[in-house]
Amino acid sequence: MVDFGSGEPDFDTPEHIKQAAVKALREGLPNIRPPRESMNSKRPSSTSFKRDNGLFYRREQIVASCGAKHTLHNLAQVLFDPGDEVILPSPYWTTYETIIQMAEAVPVIIPTTEQEGFPSLPRHAGASPDAAGPKAIILNSPSIPPAACIATTS
């Protein structure tokens, strides 16, 4: 059994990855790259989206980031205004509520259960009568801790 509860595997980084990192450091590759190189790095993502999922995205529609939490934080800072309600089905990753609060928005925690096949697409139960409704929903899928996935059809 491998415990991914904290988001960290219980095994060491493979040696070939360590060596590649050392090589990149020696060559100065971790430095900030020019925008043209960043656009070129998105080509494999665009190709794999099309091949694996039948989805087509132009390179300028793809954002490369250093991780989901950082991306969610940036999105929250740009999209959420003070007082906006943001639905957060529970269980959720430990920092998602804080990310919402840092944007001065209001997390609306919606408990979900295993019987519902969590995470479920919850009904919004927390809006005040004066509220315009939720601004967003942060849907953690596949969900950690329960590692459940949401399947959708179009």
* DSSP 8-state code for residue 61: G
Q: How far apart are CA 84 and CA 87, in angstroms?
A: 10
pLDDT of residue 98: 96
Tokens of 83: 């007082």
pLDDT of residue 153: 47
* DSSP 8-state code for residue 28: T
pLDDT of residue 32: 61
Mean pLDDT by 10 residues, the chain (154 residues): 59 88 82 57 75 85 79 93 91 89 94 68 50 80 56 48
Tokens of 36: 């043209």
Count of positions (residues) in the chain: 154
3-state class (DSSP) for residue 136: strand
Find out whether 108 and 89 touch, Cβ atoms under 8 Å: no
Q: How far apart are CA 85 and CA 108, in angstroms?
A: 6
Q: Which residues pair with 107 in a beta bridge?
A: 86
pLDDT of residue 8: 64
Tokens of 13: 């980084």
Those residues with Cβ within 8 angstroms of residue 149's Cβ, 6 or more apart along the chain or in another chain: 141, 142, 143
Residue 64: closest CA among 44, 92, 79, 50: 44
Find out whether 35 and 64 touch, Cβ atoms under 8 Å: no
Cβ atoms within 10 A of the Cβ of 146, count? 15
